[in-house]
Amino acid sequence: MSSTALGTGRVSTASGLDSVLERANAAQAVVQRFLARIGVPALRVSLGLVFLVFGALKFLPGVSPVEELVMRTWNALSFGLVDGYAAMAITGSLEVFVGVAFITGILLRVGLLALAATFVGIFSPLVFFAGELFTTAGPTLTAQYILKDVVLVAAAVVVAASALTRPIGRR
Task: Output the CA–CA distances (angstroms, integers) from residue 74 to 39, 47, 55, 120, in the order listed.
Answer: 35, 23, 15, 11
Indicate if the pLDDT at residue 5 is higher than 90: no
Helix intervals (H) in 58-167: 67-77, 84-104, 108-128, 130-133, 141-147, 149-163
pLDDT tens-place string over residues 136-157: 999 999 999 999 999 999 999 9
pLDDT of residue 17: 87
A 10 A CB-CB count for 130 gives: 10
Q: Is 5 helix (H, G, I), strand (E, B) or coil?
A: strand
Of 76, 54, 67, 62, the C-alpha closest to 129 is: 76
pLDDT of residue 166: 81
Parallel/antiparallel/unpaired status of strands 134-135 and 138-139? antiparallel
pLDDT of residue 2: 55
pLDDT tens-place string over residues 30-63: 999 999 999 999 999 999 999 999 999 999 999 9
Q: Is 28 helix (H, G, I), strand (E, B) or coil?
A: helix
Query: What is the distance between the alpha carbons of residues 38 and 14, in angstroms, rounded to a whole number?
Result: 36
pLDDT of residue 167: 83
Which backbone phi and psi does 139 adopt, to 5 degrees? -70, 140
| Range scoring the smallest mean pLDDT among 16-20, 60-64, 99-103, 132-136 | 16-20
pLDDT of residue 4: 58
Indicate if the pLDDT at residue 6 is higher than 60: no
Of 82, 87, 163, the C-alpha closest to 118 is: 87
Of 156, 159, 157, 150, the C-alpha closest to 41 is: 159
The mean predicted confidence, pLDDT, of the chain is 91
Indicate if the pLDDT at residue 91 is higher than 60: yes
